[in-house]
Amino acid sequence: MITSSPMGWNSWDCYGAAVDEKTVRANAEYCAKNLLASGYEYIVVDIQWYEPTAKNHEYHPFTELVTDGYSRLMPAVNRFPSAEGGKGFAPLAEYVHSLGLKFGIHIMRGIPRQAVHADSPIQGTDRTARQIAKNDSICCWNTDMYGVDPSKEGAYEYYLSIFRLYASWGVDFVKCDDIAREMPHCREELKLISKAARNCGREIVLSISPGPALLEEAEMYKQYANMWRITDDFWDKWELLYNMFERCEKWSIHTGFDHYPDADMLPVGPLRQDYDVNDRTKFTENEQITMLTLWSIFRSPLFIGGEMTKFDDFTLSLLTNTGITDMHRNSRHAHQLYRREVNGNELIVWTSVSAEGGTYLAVFNAGETDARFDISLHEAELYGKYKAVELWSNEESTAERHIVTAIPSHGAKAYLLK
Amino acid sequence: MITSSPMGWNSWDCYGAAVDEKTVRANAEYCAKNLLASGYEYIVVDIQWYEPTAKNHEYHPFTELVTDGYSRLMPAVNRFPSAEGGKGFAPLAEYVHSLGLKFGIHIMRGIPRQAVHADSPIQGTDRTARQIAKNDSICCWNTDMYGVDPSKEGAYEYYLSIFRLYASWGVDFVKCDDIAREMPHCREELKLISKAARNCGREIVLSISPGPALLEEAEMYKQYANMWRITDDFWDKWELLYNMFERCEKWSIHTGFDHYPDADMLPVGPLRQDYDVNDRTKFTENEQITMLTLWSIFRSPLFIGGEMTKFDDFTLSLLTNTGITDMHRNSRHAHQLYRREVNGNELIVWTSVSAEGGTYLAVFNAGETDARFDISLHEAELYGKYKAVELWSNEESTAERHIVTAIPSHGAKAYLLK
Amino acid sequence: MITSSPMGWNSWDCYGAAVDEKTVRANAEYCAKNLLASGYEYIVVDIQWYEPTAKNHEYHPFTELVTDGYSRLMPAVNRFPSAEGGKGFAPLAEYVHSLGLKFGIHIMRGIPRQAVHADSPIQGTDRTARQIAKNDSICCWNTDMYGVDPSKEGAYEYYLSIFRLYASWGVDFVKCDDIAREMPHCREELKLISKAARNCGREIVLSISPGPALLEEAEMYKQYANMWRITDDFWDKWELLYNMFERCEKWSIHTGFDHYPDADMLPVGPLRQDYDVNDRTKFTENEQITMLTLWSIFRSPLFIGGEMTKFDDFTLSLLTNTGITDMHRNSRHAHQLYRREVNGNELIVWTSVSAEGGTYLAVFNAGETDARFDISLHEAELYGKYKAVELWSNEESTAERHIVTAIPSHGAKAYLLK
Amino acid sequence: MITSSPMGWNSWDCYGAAVDEKTVRANAEYCAKNLLASGYEYIVVDIQWYEPTAKNHEYHPFTELVTDGYSRLMPAVNRFPSAEGGKGFAPLAEYVHSLGLKFGIHIMRGIPRQAVHADSPIQGTDRTARQIAKNDSICCWNTDMYGVDPSKEGAYEYYLSIFRLYASWGVDFVKCDDIAREMPHCREELKLISKAARNCGREIVLSISPGPALLEEAEMYKQYANMWRITDDFWDKWELLYNMFERCEKWSIHTGFDHYPDADMLPVGPLRQDYDVNDRTKFTENEQITMLTLWSIFRSPLFIGGEMTKFDDFTLSLLTNTGITDMHRNSRHAHQLYRREVNGNELIVWTSVSAEGGTYLAVFNAGETDARFDISLHEAELYGKYKAVELWSNEESTAERHIVTAIPSHGAKAYLLK
């Protein structure tokens, strides 16, 4: 059970399928030193850690993967040397834990095609991979796995066997891919995975991908996952950020105790290092402020996508603003208050209640020009006189009936009113 | 501008198209004496007050209506005697005001077909009804009007002329029909009506019907109406009440200052008096408790549909429960917390914050058997120890981690936790 | 019962709603002299003959129409002087008949709104217009009528009363508008109209408009109408002609004895005379050849849309080509043989069997450049040696295995092979 | 190039995936002796001939298949002994040819998954199976293959390599499965297969499955295949036969030289022998007459699905009726004439022209009771006096204006009128 929305780092945005142990250790060390105090605690190794030849963000169709004798994927030792001798991620997890952090991995729904073709056994059963694979269930963007047929004897045992393995390694977080948007046809398979995660003997946060998840399945996600992606892969493009307002609006009432709709990783700082070590986020500083403001009032999980060891001051300050991380932790009942055209610009206002008292107002200028907005407090059903703190600037003022504020194009402000 | 969700009485459920002055006066008197203190203040005359021959809930196609010389409908004097001599609803409104109440009427979008065929003038213009009517815009269930073409000169003047007439009568509330669900094709016509209502010289609440309104037009409704129906006509059937949970869930984040999604009138007490004076609501007492609980935490407008002068004790107590009417006034950020199957029953939990402090939890048993539920406070993100008052019973207890409660089938409980 | 697809003239394309008696007489005289021998025999007065103020192709919303005392429309005497004294179209029909031609009129589905508002009686019944009108059934482009509710007593009697009136005038052809594409909601009304037409005491061809008719209703149209429009209004634009290939392909198997899918009037010669007497068809000669070829092999009704008295030689020759009008009469089992890209041009080939022996092949160049095509006779399942006559040029040749032919862009050739 | 619709036998209906050489030889011998004179000439080995363990109509997911060194499937020698030594189907084809018959096989679209996982080479290229496989293209009901990506170098060469192998064996007919209804996404792959079939050095009929094919792709099928299934698997159920009338109506104009929409195999005589040697078709004799009549006037390919060596007299006579097989060969321009309710029964009439002169009329009683029908010849545009032969009974009569005929429920009659 988790009582606040998870925070941490994920290797995908900066290394794609090619993350290695050295990188993970370096980022973990940076995180422990600079970001853990702000709440960032999960270090997550993303996809293809079981593939010896992975080089960048691209997948290798039908390539040979590392498996154990029980249809289970194992870390490629050439990329994760500490995994040698069948130790899996246990040594790396142990190191991450030693820094005060938690350790996570990515998995794909299903069972390796290799294991199905080899008809490998399922641990602790007399069943084989071929007997539990679902013939017509494949991922459309990756060739590693077949889906598992939940109606087959041995299906649950397979999933339990992999989660028990991860538990034995010390895994705290599993991001299960190729499932969140695959509804309703993968609903029973998700339930099986969820049950295995909860019965594996270790507290493991279950994050599911990719999005967009289906709104009409909201109650199901709430019961069977801790986080679910509400969007396809999010990258450093304004259009994607702009569209997130609507996604967050729709999902806002489904955020709460132990379950958090997920707007995806934060593409900040150095990205796509597998292609170009000089690549940096294309987002402007204002756009990054908009992103952090929206993610935080909405309580999306906050997973840093950039190579942290090369962060500049702005990026670090963006992620560690105390007012904002407090809002991320304390925001309750968040929802869009309204969205409207104001003098040719697009004004979006969100509100929420702070668990520590007071009301949050987040004000976004989604338009293309800098603008001055007059925000009526009555429209937020705030009728008295308030002390207002703008969280990014830490400026304090008295507010009654109105807040008048200048916001640059694509920028945002966040207020806590008491 | 209204700062809480409107409450009052509407003649439709008990008299259909056939309400008359005597009935309105009698209900107004009862309301002033018994319900005004609880907040019920609007007395609304529903459809066909301009039709001399209306007898019950049925419409008379193509029948003769009462109009003035300016394409405007006027009360039928045989049904509203005080309207004689062209005084319209002014005398009746005056009487209602004298009781401390407010007065409302129903109108249909558009201009009378009669006026179009007679090509009557539009007041204060050189235009005629025929010039502003929209050829292909008719209501599919009533033959009285043609829609007005917003692009035509004289269209706004027509709407302004009717709202000025209503303002001169002392009308405080207009329920405009045949428009709320007619989107997007009637969007511009709604904007015209809204503008006329706001510029007529009197504060008039604009309520629009029928539903279901379109969720994707939410921001537009928020700007141009004070209330909009989220459902087709609501009557005393469990199935309709059951479906309202989903409607309210979807609209919950669009309720606030000056704008209230409307779950329709409350079919309580004596109904359909035009057909049978002995007819009473088919809802059980538990279902009525469920209805009031949902409408109140969601802050739907509360318009009584029954013949009030014949209310029994239960009905009066249902509507005047102080805890519930307080919740209706103070509920903020309401939303469904979850909805799930529990031991074969369907449990629905809503939450909101009270403007006066504390958290509301409404717990519904939508299943077919009485049941006992264990409500985790952690799931509502309530982690401390609380004083809990159940509003229907006024029972007080201490709650920590859980509330365990027995709820009959189709029934509800409402808690205020502080 | 008709055994070949109707041919004639219709006033719409050249005069819109404003046709008058003088024009009809002049065109009838021209037709009798120049086109009757080729089969053009129906002279049809199109819409609004009952409206005194009609001036061109535009409709006058809610305008006053001429009716008799029985809810029936009557010709406007200012436009049709011979109709004076309640004689209706009888004198004009008599004149048309005297020329050896047949006489037709256009009507709108339904009953005049005027009659409904005046609550006029239905002839031979104790019912009134208001009692049979269907509240919510209106035409979206013309305000003259309400639909008739087929379930009402008096509905059939109304339609019978108008068809008996037309029969008494000597009407041979009725084009009923606002119905052909209004399926399935107007299906029962069409059946009523069809029954009235067949029981009125005179043989009347029933043509229904506007299109596009619905393919899935084909068997219904075949039973209840003689012609039905397969397209919205067709005008002199290549794009509309190009799209007709697909419409004709889909409807080809539904053409036969007594029922003919209708590709609409032929916009040839002088058009839109109500706006500009110098206006001529925008179709090139090749496009007109394509149109006549497709309409004829497909057996669409052939109704001339232009002002005939001002025809040039080409137009007259186009319409009176003996080979083509023979094909229109004798074509059987017509269908598209194939449609494909050939060297960047689009080749379309149709085939049919002649009732008098032989096979028709129509070859269309729907592409944008002149081209030479090699048409395999095997693909038409013609395996022998044939005498081939090209119908437009009347050139004769011997064909075996192939016909090689040059066709200009947007042009066509038509062959009869024996 | 084929000039009439193919006829023959296919092993699926009687043996599913488990057909063997002995069975093929026995049926070929029977066919040569009893059915070849009527036109049945193709002997087709259906799916899974490359799978050693196939036992019945069920597929074995992920099972081991027989391949050569070039990613190509080979006959399982345990089931087809003459294939030993890498000879493939050459010996069996030779035997079939020796009987005067032609030989066909079934294939699945794509390349064996086994070959992809083993990364086998593609003959005559430097490419491998993995390089041409399309990651996300699988069959949803069979696990043998991956689709081939037409944009990859080596893709065409792969298909050419398998068709050249088949040509070397003497294959005359290939039924390619998992493609006909997989449009538009498999359009380019079909074009590749078609090109390979036409360039392999032997005349091979290309039949594609499964249906329903997409009507809007008709011109594409006509160019790239000789037969395409217009239905999913057809079996001996009246409902499936009844639905075929509509399928055939829609596809009727797309039948002709070298291309034949395919209503699937004829489930007559002994079926499903892999499960029960006593199983016989569930169709009544009347239903079988309806099926043969419809298939023949429509010119569907006629492939016998039953175990021929155990045919009874009725079955053999059904398939060898000279009038019907003549109609199958000579029918031109076939289409449904009409379909309507007659006295509570459903009457369906088809017509076509005979290439040898005369008109066919097929009359079906699709209703549930025996009935007498009066068929108007005028409705078929037949206006003279005719000699009419009923093909099933061979009864001759004179027909003028009408044919009156009694037809049992689910039965049919077929007339040739001259």
Nearest CA in chain D to A117: D62
Q: How many CA atoms lie within 13 A of B103 on its CB side?
A: 23
Summarised one tens digit per residue, pLDDT across range C328-359 is 999 999 999 999 999 999 999 999 999 999 99
Bridging pattern class, strands B205-208 and B227-229: parallel
The nearest CA of chain C is from the CA of D338 a distance in Å of: 7
How many residues are listed for chain D in this entry?
A: 418
pLDDT at D306: 98
Does A143 sit within 8 Å of D119, measured CB to CB? no
| Domain C7-320: CATH class, spelled out | alpha beta
Q: Is D141–A135 a contact, with Cβ atoms under 8 angstroms apart?
A: yes
Q: How far apart are alpha carbons A205 and A175 in whole angstroms?
A: 8
State the smallest CA–CA distance between residue A61 and chain D in angstroms: 7
> C8: helix, coil or strand?
strand
Residue-wise burial string across D231-248, b where 16 or more C-beta atoms lie within 10 A, e elsewhere? beebbbebebbbebbebb
Which residue bears the tokens 């219709």?
C10
Inter-residue contact B364 to B407 (CB < 8 Å): yes
Q: How many DSSP H helices and E strands does chain D contain?
A: 12, 19
Yes or no, beta carbons of B219 and A381 under 8 Å apart: no
Could you give the CA distance from residue C366 to residue A9 in angstroms, rounded to a whole number? 60
**Residue C131 distance to chain B (closest CA, Å):** 9
A219–B381 C-beta distance less than 8 A = no
Within 8 A of A353 by CB-CB distance, chain B residues are: 332-333, 353
Alpha carbon of A22 to those of A11, A52, C347: distances in Å?
A: 12, 15, 65
CA distances from C244 to A336, C136, C148, C237, C412 (A): 50, 33, 32, 11, 14
Q: Closest Cα of chain D to C378: distance in Å?
A: 7
Size of interface C-D (CB pairs under 8 A): 64
Chains D and B touch (3+ CB pairs under 8 A): no
Tokens of C395: 């050139």
Q: How far is C135 from chain B (nearest CA, A)?
A: 6
pLDDT-derived band at A4, boundaries 50, 70, 90: very high
Separation in Å, CA of A417 to nearest CA in chain B: 14
Buried b (16+ CB within 10 A) or exposed e, A134-157: bbebbbeebbbbbbbbbeeebbbb
D interface with C, Cβ–Cβ < 8 A, is 1, 3, 219, 222-223, 249, 252-253, 256-258, 332-333, 335-340, 351-353, 355, 378-381, 383
In this complex, which of B252, B256, B352 lies closest to A337 when CB atoms are compared?
Answer: B256
**CA atoms lying within 13 Å on the CB side of residue B175:** 27
In the DSSP assignment, the letter for residue C79 is T
Contacting residues of B for A340, CB less than 8 Å apart: 219, 223
Indicate yes or no: CB of B1 within 8 angstroms of CB of A378: yes
Q: Are A109 and A186 contacting, i.e. CB atoms less than 8 angstroms apart?
A: yes
pLDDT digits (tens, 9 = 90+) for D354-413: 999 999 999 999 999 999 999 999 999 999 999 999 999 999 999 999 999 999 999 999
Instruction: For helices D90-98 and D155-169, give the axis angle rounded to 10 degrees.
Output: 50
Which pLDDT does position B135 carry in this prediction?
Answer: 86
> Closest chain C residue to B64 measured between Cα atoms?
C117
C-alpha span between C193 and C189 (Å, rounded): 6
**Residues of chain C found within 8 Å of residue B117, distances taken between Cβ atoms:** 62, 113-114, 117
- C334-417 CATH pick, 3.40.50.300, 2.120.10.30, 3.40.50.720, 2.60.40.1180: 2.60.40.1180
Chain A residue with CA closest to D140: the answer is A136
Three state DSSP letters for chain A: CCCCCCEEEECHHHHHHHCCHHHHHHHHHHHHHHCHHHCCCEEEECCCCCCCCCCCCCCCCCCCCCECCCCCECCCCCCCHHHHHHCCCHHHHHHHHHCCCEEEEEEECCEEHHHHHHCCECCCCCCEHHHHEEEEEECCCCCCEEEECCCCCCHHHHHHHHHHHHHHHCCCEEEEECCCCCCCCCHHHHHHHHHHHHCCCCCCEEEECCCCCCHHHHHHHHHHCCEEECCCCCCCCHHHHHHHHHHHHHHHHHCECCEEEECCCECCCECCCCCCCCCECCCCHHHHHHHHHHHHHHCCCEEECCCHHHCCHHHHHHHHCHHHHHHHHHEEEEEEEEEEEECCEEEEEEEEEECCCCEEEEEEECCCCCEEEEEECHHHCCCCEEEEEECCCCEEEEEECEEEEEECCCCEEEEEEC
Contact between residue C154 and residue C64 where contact means Cβ atoms under 8 Å apart: no
Annotated domain spans of chain C: 7-320, 334-417
Q: What is the pLDDT of residues A101-154, one digit of tens each?
A: 999 999 999 999 999 999 999 999 999 999 999 988 999 999 999 999 999 999
Paired tokens of D161? 């390599």
**Cβ A333–B337 below 8 Å, yes or no?**
no
Q: If you average pLDDT over every residue of chain C, what do you get?
A: 97
Nearest residue on chain A to D137, alpha-carbon basis: A140
Which residues of chain C does D347 touch, with a Cβ-Cβ cutoff of 8 Å?
A: none
Mean pLDDT of A181-208: 97
D368 φ, ψ (degrees, to nearest 5): -100, 0
Q: What SS3 string covers B151-189?
A: CCCCHHHHHHHHHHHHHHHCCCEEEEECCCCCCCCCHHH
Q: What is the reported pLDDT for C135? A: 86
**Residue C168: exposure state from Cβ atoms within 10 A (0-12, 13-18, ≥19):** middle
Contact C352 D337 (CB under 8 A): no
Helix axes A285-298, A322-330, angle to 10 degrees: 30
Spatial contact of C194 and C242, defined as CB atoms under 8 Å apart: no
Strand ranges for D179-287 from DSSP E: 205-208, 227-229, 260-262
Q: How far apart are CA A24 and CA A44, in angstroms?
A: 8
Closest Cα in chain D, distance from residue C40 (Å): 21
CB within 8 Å: B61 and C119: no
Instruction: Determine the distance in angstroms separating the CA of B89 from the nearest CA of chain A, rounded to an integer.
Output: 33
Q: Do C62 and B138 touch (CB under 8 A)?
A: no
Closest CA of chain A from B219, distance in Å: 7
CA A20 to chain centre: 20
Residues of chain C positioned with their CB less than 8 A from the CB of D335:
253, 333, 335
Task: Find chain A residues with C-beta within 8 A of D62's C-beta.
Answer: 116-117, 119, 130, 133, 135
Give me the residues of chain D with pLDDT under 50, please: none
Per-residue pLDDT tens for B193-247? 999 999 999 999 999 999 999 999 999 999 999 999 999 999 999 999 999 999 9
Provide the whole-model pTM: 0.92
* Contact (CB<8Å) A333/B333: yes
Q: Which stretches of chain C score pLDDT less than 70?
A: none
Residues of D in contact with A113 (CB under 8 A): 117
Chains that touch B (3 or more CB pairs under 8 A): A, C
A335 contacts B335? CB cut-off 8 A = yes
Nearest to C223 among D219, D340, D378 (CB): D340
Say what percent of chain A tops pLDDT 90: 99
Query: Using N-to-C axis directions, what is the helix angle for C90-98 and C155-169, rounded to 10°?
Result: 50
Of A61, A113, A130, Cβ closest to residue D61: A130
Over pLDDT 90: what percentage of chain B? 99
Chain B residues with CB-CB distance to C143 below 8 A? 135
Q: Chains touching chain D at 3 or more Cβ pairs under 8 angstroms?
A: A, C
Smallest CA–CA distance from A383 into chain B, residue: B3
Which residues of chain B have a CB within 8 Å of the CB of C133?
61-62
Q: Do chains D and A touch (3 or more CB pairs under 8 A)?
A: yes
Nearest to B253 among A3, A222, A336 (CB): A336
Is C249's CB within 8 Å of D252's CB? no
Chains C and D are touching, with contact defined as 3 or more CB–CB pairs separated by less than 8 Å = yes
Cβ-contact C293, C324 below 8 angstroms: yes
Sign of CA dihedral C184, C186, C189, C195: negative
Question: How deeply is C278 buried, as exposed, middle or buried, from its count of CB atoms within 10 A (0-12, 13-18, 19+)?
Answer: exposed
Q: Which residues of chain D lie closer than 8 angstroms to C355, CB-CB?
A: 381
What's at A107, amino acid-wise? I
Chain B environment of A3 (Cβ under 8 Å): 378, 381, 383
B&C contacts, CB < 8 Å:
40
> How far is B374 from B187, CA to CA, in rounded Å?
46
* Site from C58, C63, C117 to mutate, B interface, most B CB atoms within 10 angstroms: C117
At A135 the pLDDT is 86
CA distance A110 to A145: 5
Give the residue among B257, C335, C206 at the shortest CA–CA distance from A338. Answer: B257
